[in-house]
Amino acid sequence: MLDLYSQISSVPIGYNHPALMKLVQQPQNASTFINRPALGILPPENFVEKLQESLLSVAPKGMSQLITMACGSCSNENAFKTIFMWYRNKERGRTGFSKEELETCMVNQAPGCPDYSILSFMGAFHGRTMGCLATTHSKAIHKIDIPSFDWPIAPFPRLKYPLEEFVKENQQEEARCLEEVEDLIVKYRKKKRTVAGIIVEPIQSEGGDNHASDDFFRKLRDISRKVEDLIVKYRKKKRTVAGIIVEPIQSEGGDNHASDDFFRKLRDISRKHGCAFLVDEVQTGGGCTGKFWAHEHWGLDDPADVMTFSKKMMTGGFFHREELRPNAPYRIFNTWLGDPCKNLLLAEVINVIKREDLLKNATHAGKALLTGLLDLQARYPQFISRVRGRGTFCSFDAPDEPTRNKLISIARSKGVVLGGCGDKSIRFRPTLVFRDHHAHLFLNIFSDILADFK
Amino acid sequence: MLDLYSQISSVPIGYNHPALMKLVQQPQNASTFINRPALGILPPENFVEKLQESLLSVAPKGMSQLITMACGSCSNENAFKTIFMWYRNKERGRTGFSKEELETCMVNQAPGCPDYSILSFMGAFHGRTMGCLATTHSKAIHKIDIPSFDWPIAPFPRLKYPLEEFVKENQQEEARCLEEVEDLIVKYRKKKRTVAGIIVEPIQSEGGDNHASDDFFRKLRDISRKVEDLIVKYRKKKRTVAGIIVEPIQSEGGDNHASDDFFRKLRDISRKHGCAFLVDEVQTGGGCTGKFWAHEHWGLDDPADVMTFSKKMMTGGFFHREELRPNAPYRIFNTWLGDPCKNLLLAEVINVIKREDLLKNATHAGKALLTGLLDLQARYPQFISRVRGRGTFCSFDAPDEPTRNKLISIARSKGVVLGGCGDKSIRFRPTLVFRDHHAHLFLNIFSDILADFK
């Protein structure tokens, strides 16, 4: 079995790694695996030390603050909350919570629960809990039937491949998306609520049950569609964008890449408009792109305000800049706040990554894989297009969904586990111990599959 | 150290239990602790068997379906989604998703994302992710600054103690709350949107920038408060209640109990109006009330449609009736969907609970604790009131918050860990191996504390 999907990209250094097998059987570690603490109130004595060995040793630039969480969705949910609190505190200035805020928040109303939003991108996947789901736009089946927030959604670039042939088109496409981001921020924040409309009662109930004629109501019904449109417009106009969330590579949505320049400019827009910039590295983080975090490719000293992780990191959580620290205890909190036994494993995983130079390996093996895929694309353009990748985080498009699914199924029958994403893409998500010879093994098997494919 | 809080009620059978220490060190279990699968697509070979030994062996009545999750918040979030999908399918009938639903859901709009709600109770705590937080109403600091959903909130009974002295008053209080629940369901579901108001443009922008006089706008500003009120009313009227969520005992909100009869009637109301009934047993479940699930005290054959758990169960998750099964794959899904290593531990925990008859112990030791607390209440009525409890799930009220916090702090300095909840309550959340002699040990220490308290 050659697993190139690794439990939806969540196994860092392969199965049964001897270093982890040893660790879990050491008697001094047993307690960590069976006595799970409430980390927010009673962290174990050596917890900070353990975090320094694990997560803090790979803290992204400028983000010294860390919260662990049980999974990726909880990480994004709590990152949103951190952003909302920070934004509201900026607006509020030095004053404390008002009585009205304290009262209205208990019944889910403004101003206590303000109409803030997180701007996200079409095609994005940030998780499936209700806050996350409002920023997820990869597949309808994830979202249908679930109430949501009316938050702004910008287009994500759809690059044309091969990149070197479409330089100008792709630049224009990225510029168009960035312009839309900026427009949405301004539109959602600046327009006054009172410009949007005025609402009157057809039956003035509180004012004495003043009725209007039946004809009035018939007309009312006629314009109900217009009313509907206006309400939608109205609601759209008041969702101040507190933050922007983006994946360095849109993964579930079909492995959609954008240039490093796109992300640098997006970062600039967030800074210009005072929105927090949240980079979701749940799938891209942990080394598979050849850097520990995919955003390191952008080469920024100030790459983000918040960065979430999970999957290969074995625990969920997020890093953030000190400025976004909550101003009171228990604002970002839950019972477990992660799990020290996962940090214990992660510390060893990071040791292995460093000791075995697995980031360099991801670059090298990824190049072998990508080169081979480009070769297959040249030989089988009817089956393979838009080959793309960074490190081992590679993918290509099949001509359509049925063909994609059939290719995955045949590969599975030959002992190769692949994953789909988007409408018709196949994605590669091997572990960090995927080597050049694994790439060649796969390419040989897949070449045979394509040769026989009907 | 006498820990009566047990990591916010999340340690089932005490620290370092020999059965768990043995389990984690057995070589054949090592793989389960280090190779975490994506359970939704690649469950381990023996996973169903392991679930039968653990969670399915304690499945609540009528709820044969099970999903595991990483934590309590994810459990409630996904329980909400299961309810919304079920409710929408009931409305939709046998037809599939419409094109409009599939398109609108991608941009967070109705009809794809319908305006459904979950009815919750004032004082409730159901978690802190954005969906859960819309049903949490225990403390302002949990909610302030976070955007929310406009969902209905009913009052939860505030019973007077001692119960035997206030039978009639408490019955009336419960009847009032139930009536409000039913009113809210009817109000949020039945009233037509078009009755609420009509919205017109003060500047008809799309229609040609038709302006009105400045005087018109001055008047507009004058009535802006009224407009605001109407908007709030308008929005309130269209959030169809798809489900009701309730804790068998409101825990974070101050250990608020209601009678078994209250819950039986609430269950009836949910059935009558076709709303799903979701019982949140994250804190009450796992045996501490003397039954494995607190709702078993209600004596119903059909206690709930969905029941969520976490904490003492070591993994999050939810049981539900077969009728609520999603009608397509990947609708309730995430990468990990829980963690088999937690199920492995839980199977052993359940063995220990059965072997050592720890439910009976919780009843017995709880009685020793409650009797002792009633005695202290009689001796120190100035410090202790409203003593209440079920099994070891006991609590009392201090006269005010500073006194409560001081009592907790003094107890801590004498080696006793207690927890607060609500404004001024102290809650007991010992593990299931809390025995009569631990109760007496605590009562002696606390009696001394009260005798010296100033």
- Quote the tokens at residue A192: 């006054």
Q: What's the complex ipTM?
A: 0.87
Q: Which of B265, B291, B311, B424 is catalytic?
A: B311
Interval A354-364: pLDDT, tens? 999 999 999 99
Pairwise CA distance, residues A307 & A294, whole Å: 11
Query: Taking 70 as the threshold, does the pLDDT of residue A214 lie above it?
Result: no
Identify the pLDDT of residue A199.
39
Percent of chain A with pLDDT over 70: 89
Hey, are the CB atoms on A21 and B38 less than 8 Å from each other? no
What pLDDT does residue B213 have? 58
Q: Return phi, psi of residue A397, to 5°.
A: -100, 135
CA A285 to chain centre: 11
Residue A232 · residue B109 · CB < 8 Å: yes
* Tokens describing residue B99: 């094109």
Which pLDDT belongs to residue B206? 47
Instruction: Tell me, yes or no, if B335 is annotated catalytic.
Output: yes
For range B238-267, the mean pLDDT: 95
**What's the pLDDT at B190?**
67
**To the nearest whole number, what is the mean pLDDT of chain B?**
91
Residue B196 pLDDT: 32
Residue B161 has pLDDT above 90, yes or no: yes
Both tokens assigned to B221: 């500003």
Query: Cβ(B89)–Cβ(B100) under 8 Å?
Result: no
Burial of A96-133, coded b for 16+ CB within 10 Å and e otherwise, reads ebeeebbebbbbbbbbbbbbbbbbbbbbbbbbbbbbbb
> Mapping DSSP to helix (H, G, I), strand (E, B) and coil, where does residue B415 land?
coil
Instruction: Find the CB nearest B146 among A73, A84, A198.
Output: A84
Task: Tell me the average pLDDT across A172-200.
Answer: 73
- How far, in Å, CA of A54 to CA of A351, rounded? 8
Residue A309 distance to chain B (closest CA, Å): 13
Q: Alpha helix locations (H) across A391-435?
A: 401-413
The one-letter code for the residue type at B302 is D
Query: What distance, in Å, lies between the first and last C-alpha atoms of chain B?
Result: 24
- Give the H or E element holding residue A386: strand A385-390
**Confidence bin at A187 (pLDDT 50/70/90):** confident
Q: Which residues of chain A lie closer than 8 angstroms to B38, CB-CB?
A: 7-8, 10
Is A107 within 8 Å of B153 when comparing Cβ atoms? yes
> What pLDDT, on the 0 to 100 scale, is given for residue A196?
32
The yes/no answer on whether domain B47-353 falls in CATH 3.40.640.10 is yes
Give the residue-averaged pLDDT of A381-395. 98
Alpha-carbon distance A185 to A119, whole Å? 8
pLDDT above 60 for A210: no
Query: Is pLDDT at B351 greater than 90 in this prediction?
Result: yes
- In degrees, to the nearest 5, what angle opens at C-alpha A39 toward C-alphas A38 and A45? 115
Q: Which of B146, B150, B336 to mutate against chain A (most A CBs within 10 Å)? A: B146
Among the listed residues B22, B233, B335, B360, the single catalytic one is B335
- C-alpha A358/C-alpha A14 separation (Å) is 12
**Mean pLDDT of the region A215-239:** 52
Query: Average pLDDT, stretch A244-249?
Result: 97
CB–CB contact B194 A153 (8 Å): no
Instruction: Encode pLDDT of B37-55 as tens digits.
Output: 999 999 998 899 989 989 9
Please indicate whether, in this complex, the C-beta atoms of B8 and A345 are within 8 angstroms of each other: no
**How far apart (Å, rounded) are the C-alpha atoms in residues B284 and B292?**
9
- CB-CB neighbors (< 8 A) of B197 in chain A: 199-202
CB A153 within 8 A of CB A120: yes
What per-residue confidence (pLDDT) applies to A225? 47
- Phi, psi for residue B409 in degrees, rounded to 5: -70, -40
Distance CA A334, CA A343 (A): 17
What angle, 0 to 180 degrees and rounded to 10, lies between the N-to-C axes of helices B340-355 and B18-25? 150
User: Residue B410: is its pLDDT beyond 70?
Assistant: yes
Report the C-alpha dihedral over residues B84, A280, A255, A447, rounded to 10 degrees.
Answer: -110
- The pLDDT, as a whole number, for residue A200 is 37
In the chain, the amino acid numbered B424 is K
The DSSP annotation for B338-405 comes to: S-HHHHHHHHHHHHHHHHTTHHHHHHHHHHHHHHHHHHHHHH-TTT-EEEEEETTEEEEE-SSHHHHH
How many contacts, defined by CB atoms under 8 Å, are there between A and B?
306
Average pLDDT over residues B7-11: 97
Amino acid at position B408, single letter: I
Contacts of B372 (CB under 8 A, 6+ apart): B439, B440, B442, B443
What is the spatial distance between Cα A1 and Cα A414, in angstroms, rounded to a whole number?
8
Residue A22's CB is within 10 A of a number of other CB atoms, namely 13
| pLDDT band (50, 70, 90) for residue A396 | very high
Contact residues, chain B, for A42 at CB < 8 Å: 7
| β-sheet bridge partners, residue A241 | A117
Q: Lowest mean pLDDT of A174-188, A429-443, B225-239, B323-337, name the range.
A: B225-239
| Greater pLDDT, B156 or B235 | B156
Q: Which residue is it, tokens 């909350």?
A: A81
pLDDT in tens, B195-234: 333 333 445 444 445 555 566 555 555 554 444 454 444 4
Are the CB atoms for A80 and A243 separated by under 8 Å?
yes
Active site residue B284: no
Q: Which of B7, B34, B147 lies closest to A114 in CB terms?
A: B147
Using the beta-carbon criterion (under 8 Å), do B197 and A201 form an inter-chain contact?
A: yes
Tell me if domain B2-16+357-452 and domain B47-353 are identical in fold.
no
Task: Write phi, then psi, for B412 (nearest 5 degrees).
Answer: -60, -40
Residue range A191-217: average pLDDT? 45
Active site residue A280: yes
Place of tokens 């827009």: A269
Least confident of A88-92, A252-256, A277-281, B226-230: B226-230
* Closest residue to A144, CB basis, from B10, B97, B202: B97
Helix axes B167-190, B260-272, angle to 10 degrees: 20
Pairing of strands B306-309, B153-154: unpaired
Both tokens of residue A425?
């893409």
First to last CA, chain A: 24
Residue A164 neighbours by CB distance under 10 Å: 6
Q: What per-residue confidence (pLDDT) applies to A241? A: 95
The CA distance from B270 to the nearest CA of chain A, in Å, is: 20
pLDDT for A255 beyond 60: yes
Partner residue facing A129 (CB), from B21, B130, B227: B130
Distance CA A113, CA A98 (A): 12
**The tokens of B437 are what?**
């002699």
* B136 backbone φψ class: left, alpha, beta (φ>0; ψ -120 to 50): beta
Q: What is the pLDDT of residues B360-375, one digit of tens each?
A: 999 999 999 999 999 9
Whole-number pLDDT of residue A95: 81
Query: What angle is formed at CA B231 by the lines to CA B226 and CA B236, rounded to 5 degrees?
Result: 130
Q: What angle do CA B362, B367, B372 make, to 5 degrees?
A: 130
Going by C-alpha positions, the residue among A414, A28, A388, A20 that lies closest to residue B35 is: A20
Pick the more confident residue, B25 or B199.
Answer: B25
Answer yes or no: are the C-beta atoms of B75 and B279 closer than 8 Å. no
Angle in degrees, 0-180, between the axes of helices B18-25 and B27-34, rounded to the nearest 10? 80
CA distance linking residue A29 with residue B373, whole number of Å = 39
Is A280 in contact with A264 (CB distance < 8 Å)? Answer: no
Ranges B92-96, B221-225, B244-248: which has the least confidence: B221-225
Is A284 in the active site?
no
Q: Which pLDDT tens digit goes with each residue over A110-157?
A: 999 999 999 999 999 999 999 999 999 999 999 999 999 999 999 999
Q: Can you tell me the distance from the alpha carbon of B215 to that of B193, in angstroms, rounded to the nearest whole number?
A: 30
For residues B430 and B428, what is the distance between their CA atoms, to the nearest angstrom?
6
* pLDDT band at residue A218 using 50, 70 and 90 as cut-offs: low
- Tokens 């040893």 -> residue: A22
Residue of A150, A202, A189 whose CA lies nearest to B200? A202
- Beta-carbon count within 10 A of B164 CB: 7
**Strand-strand pairing, B385-390 and B393-397:** antiparallel
Chain A residues inside the 8 Å CB shell of B223: 198
Instruction: Determine contact, residues A198/B166, Cβ cutoff 8 Å.
Output: no
Q: Provide the CATH topology of domain B2-16+357-452.
A: Aspartate Aminotransferase, domain 1 (3.90.1150)
For residue B308, list chain A residues with Cβ-Cβ distance below 8 A. none
Where are the domains positioned within chain A?
A: 2-16+357-452, 47-353
B30 to A24: CB separation less than 8 angstroms, yes or no:
yes
The pLDDT tens digits for A334-350 are 999 999 999 999 999 99
Checking if the pLDDT of B268 tops 50, the result is: yes
Q: Are strands B2-3 and B416-417 parallel, antiparallel or unpaired?
A: parallel
Number of helices followed by number of strands (H, E) in chain A:
17, 14
Tokens 């209601």, residue located:
B258
CB contact under 8 A, B38 and A127: no
**Max intra-chain CA distance, chain A:** 82
Does residue B335 have a pLDDT over 90? Answer: yes
A97/A318 Cα distance (integer angstroms): 26
User: How many CB atoms are closer than 10 A to CB B28?
Assistant: 6
Q: Three-state DSSP class for A175?
A: helix
Distance of residue A230 Cα from the nearest chain B Cα, in angstroms:
7
- Strand, helix or coil at B432? coil
Bridge partners (DSSP) of residue B340 are none
Mean pLDDT of chain A: 91
- Closest CA in chain A for residue B310: A335
Q: Is the peptide bond before A162 cis (omega within 30 degrees of 0)?
A: yes
Based on its alpha-carbon atoms, the radius of gyration of chain A, rounded to whole angstroms, reads 25
**What's the pLDDT at B225?**
47
Give this prediction's pTM. 0.88
Can you name the residues that pair with A279 across neighbouring β-strands? A246, A307
Residue A321 CA to residue A436 CA, distance in Å, equals 38
Q: Say how far apart CA A135 and CA A141 lie, in whole Å.
A: 14
CB contact under 8 A, A34 and B17: yes
The residues, any chain, with a CB within 8 Å of residue A239's CB and separated by 6 or more, are A115, A116, A117, A149, A150, A151, A152, A188
